[in-house]
Amino acid sequence: MTVLAIDDDSEALEAYRATLSEMGVSFESTSDPGRGIDLVRDLGPELVLLQWHMPNVQGVEVLRSIHNLDMRAQVAVIYDQESVESVAEAIQEGAAKCISKPVSPQKLRALVEQVRELAQRRAQSAKLEKELIQLFNLEGMIGRSPRMLELFDLVRRVSPHFRTALILGETGSGKELVARALHKMSPRQNRAFAVCNCAAVMETLFESELFGHRKGAFTGAHEDRAGIIETADGGIVFLDEVGELNPAVQSKLLRVIQNQEIQRVGSSKPQHVDVLLIAATSRNLEREVKRGQFRADLFFRLNMIEIPVPALRERVEDIPLLYRYFLEKFNQQYGKEIQGISRRAQDLMLTYPWPGNVRELENTMGRACMLAQGSFLDVHDFTTISERIAGVPGGNAPCSLEEAERAAVIRALDSTPNKSQVARVLGVSRPRLYRLIEKHGLTAKAGRDDDRETVPEG
């Protein structure tokens, strides 16, 4: 356990050191608040003893900076004389405890033991969270909500026996994960799994893509070519967004299901194939059938087993499990050591409706982890979804990581002329802020800003 003291009282620091030396903890101290913030970043202390009143610095600003860097750190505010206003402000900003000077050895020991016990509970909680992710994980699908447990059970029961299956769900809800789970749990797990995104194939090339073609069948057909279904012979074919297929291809697909036969474009000879077929769609195929846009007989053949995938807003209780999973994933991918997500950022993620479902959550976590500077993700790391909740015009428009970063810097610069405050809002250091300003061509705007610290009157 590490304890950090930020105090300009050398006698108090020595008293802390003498008391803590008997408790088997690592103790660091500094009289410089700026240096103290750097030590929080470097050491990740479990407990910070923060002198609230120091010359030329506001304790509340130091407290905010500490929490921006590490939400785990328990900050005990030390004040020289009882002041209701100071205590109230410190507690409002997240101080774990407020203690008046002088701090007795008994109080300090009791505080350290409380924080040590809290750290142990957090470590146990983190271990249990990892075990939960492993327990409620079916071939990459994660969830412990009743809807997801029903889905897991259906996949387990269907996978050994299905010939065709239809997966229904919104874009980004995880339909392909369900298809891959069916494959991995089926008797054909070691055979081919061929994927065709029907929404990404030009209409004129559907038949060739699925069934293949003979040399000379059309302009550009310079050689014989096997289609997706033929290459997956003996395995499983996954047709994503099957509702995009045109009527001609629908007719040929029906023949594959009924007779296990395909016919290459330009060929008069049918070929036998042995494939299982999984289709997925975000459309309402029953409605498409009524409109005459989708063949009823094909729909009934595909719909022998229907597997509905719930939208993320229908299983909100799974969101904490998912963002912890993605946090671990992107920590490894980007070489980061982000420890968690602040309480208010968690509340934000639970409030947002996630129209893009799990895919949007994954992309949001990836962007936040890539750009994060501190040990914890906070609301400023999720500006895109906070804007959408607030109904900011254009907030629903997709943007790249570069665009998101530039927009965040511009908003922070517009909110205050003070560079130190801008850096705190963004959760970055001042040198990092100047590099971002230069990177995004905002130098001129920055040059007009007043870089002086604002000092309250009186």
pLDDT on residue 398? 43
- Bridge partners of residue 79, in order along the sequence: 100
Same fold for the pair 138-310 and 312-398: no
Question: Alpha-carbon distance 458 to 455, whole Å?
Answer: 9
The Cβ of residue 245 has, within 10 Å, a number of other Cβ atoms equal to 26
Question: Alpha-carbon distance 295 to 289, whole Å?
Answer: 6
Q: What is the DSSP letter of 244?
A: G
Q: Reduced to 3 DSSP states, what percent helix, strand and coil does the chain have, rounded to the nearest 5?
A: 50, 15, 35
Strands 47-51 and 261-262: unpaired
Is the predicted pLDDT of residue 405 greater than 70, yes or no?
Answer: no
Question: Could you give the C-alpha distances from 51 to 98, 107, 399, in angstroms and in order?
Answer: 10, 16, 43
Mean pLDDT of 98-114: 91
Name the token pair of 199: 């929404």
Question: Alpha-carbon distance 197 to 308, whole Å?
Answer: 19
Most confident range (mean pLDDT) of 167-176, 221-230, 388-397, 412-421 is 167-176
Is the predicted pLDDT of residue 452 greater than 60, yes or no?
Answer: no
Strands 306-308 and 164-168: parallel
Band of pLDDT at residue 274, cut at 50, 70 and 90: very high
Q: What is the pLDDT of residues 113-168, one digit of tens each?
A: 999 998 888 888 778 878 888 889 999 999 999 999 999 999 999 999 999 999 99
Helix (H, G, I), strand (E, B) or coil at 156: helix
Is the predicted pLDDT of residue 394 greater than 70, yes or no?
Answer: no
> What region does 98 belong to: left with phi over 0, alpha with psi -120 to 50, or beta?
beta
Band of pLDDT at residue 402, cut at 50, 70 and 90: low
Q: What is the pLDDT of residues 381-393, one digit of tens each?
A: 898 888 787 664 4
Helix (H, G, I), strand (E, B) or coil at 237: strand
Is the predicted pLDDT of residue 51 greater than 80, yes or no?
Answer: yes
DSSP per-residue letters across 354-380: -TTHHHHHHHHHHHHHHH--SSEE-GG
Radius of gyration of the chain (CA): 30
Question: Alpha-carbon distance 331 to 349, whole Å?
Answer: 19
Question: Could you give the C-alpha distances from 218 to 206, 264, 304, 367, in angstroms and in order?
Answer: 13, 12, 36, 45
Percentage of the chain beyond pLDDT 70 is 88
pLDDT on residue 207? 85
Hey, where are the domains in the chain?
2-121, 138-310, 312-398, 399-458
Apex 374 CA angle, 370 and 375, nearest 5: 95
CATH fold of the domain at 312-398: Helicase, Ruva Protein; domain 3 (1.10.8)
Mean pLDDT of 199-214: 83
Percentage of the chain beyond pLDDT 90 is 48
Structural domain 138-310, CATH architecture: 3-Layer(aba) Sandwich (3.40)
Mean pLDDT of the chain: 85
Q: Which residue has the higher pLDDT, 65 or 322?
A: 322
Is the predicted pLDDT of residue 427 greater than 80, yes or no?
Answer: no
User: Are 256 and 277 spatial neighbours (Cβ–Cβ below 8 Å)?
Assistant: yes
Q: What is the pLDDT of residues 312-365, one digit of tens each?
A: 999 999 999 999 999 999 999 999 988 888 777 888 898 899 999 999 999 999
Helix (H, G, I), strand (E, B) or coil at 101: coil
pTM above 0.85, yes or no: no
Is the predicted pLDDT of residue 448 greater than 50, yes or no?
Answer: no
Is the predicted pLDDT of residue 454 greater than 60, yes or no?
Answer: no
In the CATH scheme, what is the code of domain 2-121?
A: 3.40.50.2300
- Bridge partners of residue 76, in order along the sequence: 49, 97
